[in-house]
A = this chain, B = another copy of it.
Amino acid sequence: CVILTILALLSMVIALIAVSPACQKFFQTSPIYQIYPKSFADSNNDGMGDINGIRSKLAYLGDDLNIETVWLNPVYDSPQIDNGYDVSDYRSIWPLFGTMADMEELITDLHDRGMKLIMDFVPNHTSDQHKWFNASSHPNHTDHEQYKDYYIWVDSTNGTSTGLPNNWQSVFPGNANSPAWEWNENREQFYYHAFYKEQPDLNLRNDQVLQELEDIMAYWMDMGVDGFRCDALAFMLESKSLRDNPLKDDTQPPSYENMYPDYTENQNGVHEIVASWRNLLKKYSSEPGVYRFMETEVYNEDIDIIMRYYGTEWQEEADFPMNFLLIDIGNDPSSWSGKNIEATVLKWMQNMPQSKWPNWVVGNHDNSRLVTRLGEKRARCTSFLTLTLSGTPGIYYGEEIGMTDYSMSDQTDFRDPERTPMQWDDTATAGFCYNCTPWLAVNPNNNDINVEAAKTEPTSMLSMYQDLLQLRSEVTFLRGWLCVVNSTQRSIVFVREMTGTQSYLVAINFDDGSSDTVDLTAFDTILPESGEIVAASDMTTSGNRQLRNLQIEAETGLVISFKRGGYFNQEASMSGRCFNPRKVCVNVIGLLEVC
């Protein structure tokens, strides 16, 4: 009888746990909000965004948007040849962004609010102004011996600066005949740079360099940083053979675009490095409530190469590789068909290893802004998609208010248009700074598009984000099944469902022409006659909606709650179209839990 009582109590505890999101990590419960630090907020009115500027906006992120996780593009000391991705000191802050003390305050402020900080981590290369490169490139430097093999130095084939080791090309500037090799007069050798010549590649076959990188990660985790977005990982190793990359078109000159990077990207050994970082992160995740996150930036046409960064069944690597599939759909609105989006979603979900966690990115600092590419209503549809799918959505600063590209006449980087200052209000400098000249011109459409206006306008894009982020905090959206139910040329329809909670149907019509009708009669045992619209991308549509032949207005997304007659994930016809990333973890009271 005592045993039965204990068992009964245990069952209650287990039942309680079953609906508790306790074992989801912060990167699962919150979207990741990407801040481009130069452009977010300028606290001292020198025209350059800074860390104290970010600190001043945490109420917006934490309270207005309910964002928990923030990722900063690089804030390390840097000559800023590549917007901070050319780091000259991994352990100090670029003076225009502030000081290390500011950084510590930012971390404290974030943690006080229950928020988390993801830092950019740049392991492939340093700035040519880094002290390692100085010592490495000068044979007479007192520390030369220690640093000489920190970079990839190769002899000339003819003893002079014309004897390039091979045909390898730089990603930047990227035009034809941009060799990835730069001649160094001091060493009378070439060094390799996958990107700008001011970004020499580190020699990651040197154990000392690997140790330096781990020390840097440990330094920032000791400071309290909650994780890393790891930059350009595919480039970490190059073939020791130094053989030419094959050209795509032999009749054209070598260029990054005209070669297959068979000897310069995703070489054997990259995953061993990523795995070693995960093990370091694990060491730093042993305190209760502390978890160190890793996401990876890798572009590749082969989905298997991307997915491999999740790790294997036996060795975890990234929590997720960043998912750029939705960005890859491109800028042509006609590509954003229901069929194409369905195929894109299924491509990630069907290739993702079991028990892993998806993520969705539609914009970042390297791509034209969503509204510019697709128009305002279709941009809403796209965010509607990422915020209601299973997994972690990314939000590029300003995306939530519908900011657009701004092409300047004095543009220095082709990506400047999508990096203009955050539009906080309708004043001349958009509340980014006051009585100042922003480092990049403010988009003059800040008259209409700005946070202040958006907050008070119930149908604004920002209001839509707030609605959807609220909805996303429900357990069905956080960790329920995703079933991709159907698609048409115009629309995609999917369901979020979970035992014991409300089922939701999400329907998005990306077409700007007319409304669409999706036939769902095949599921009439699960779907009732109608359901209730609980969210709409236009922030206007509401009421009940017939479900069997579901009508969706042009360029509109709908979330419809319904009283289910069963589960999509149990239908034979949905095989291969339903996904539930489950993970077993030990919860706070020490019990195994599936979530």
Contacts and interface: CB of A to CB of B under 8 A. Distances in A.
Nearest to A275: B314
Interface string A268-284: 11001001100100000
Contacts of A315: 275, 312, 314-315
Interface residues of A, number: 23
A241 B240 CA distance: 20
B260 A243 contact: yes
B314 A279 contact: yes
Contact of A243 (B246, B266, B313): B246
A362 to B, nearest CB: 28
B246 A276 contact: no
Interface string A240-252: 1101101000000
Contacts of A268: 266, 268, 305, 308
A410 interface: no
A312 B260 contact: no
B312 A272 contact: yes
Contact of A275 (B241, B263, B312): B312
Given A262-B262, A266-B268, A276 B313 contact: yes
A302 B471 CA distance: 55
B276 A262 contact: no
Interface string A470-496: 000000000000000000000000000
A308 B269 CA distance: 9
Interface in A264-321: 266, 268-269, 272, 275-276, 279, 302, 305, 308, 312-315
Contacts of A313: 276, 279
A316 B79 CA distance: 43
Given A272-B312, A279-B314, A302 B240 contact: yes
A243 B262 contact: yes
Contacts of A279: 313-314
Q: Among A246, A266, A276, A279, find the residue whose CB has the most chain B CB atoms closer than 10 A.
A: A246
A206 to B, nearest CB: 13
Contacts of A260: 241, 243
Contacts of A312: 272, 275, 315
A268 B263 CA distance: 12
A575 to B, nearest CB: 17
Interface string A20-34: 000000000000000
A267 to B, nearest CB: 8
A307 to B, nearest CB: 11
A351 to B, nearest CB: 12
A241 B302 CA distance: 10
Given A243-B262, A262-B263, A276-B313, 12 more contacts: A239-B262, A240-B302, A243-B260, A262-B262, A266-B268, A268-B268, A268-B308, A269-B308, A272-B312, A279-B314, A312-B315, A314-B315
Q: Name the 8 nearest CB pairs between A and B, nearest first.
A: A315-B315, A272-B312, A314-B315, A243-B246, A275-B314, A268-B268, A279-B314, A266-B268
13 contacts: A240-B302, A241-B262, A243-B260, A244-B246, A268-B268, A268-B305, A275-B312, A275-B315, A276-B313, A276-B314, A279-B313, A279-B314, A315-B315
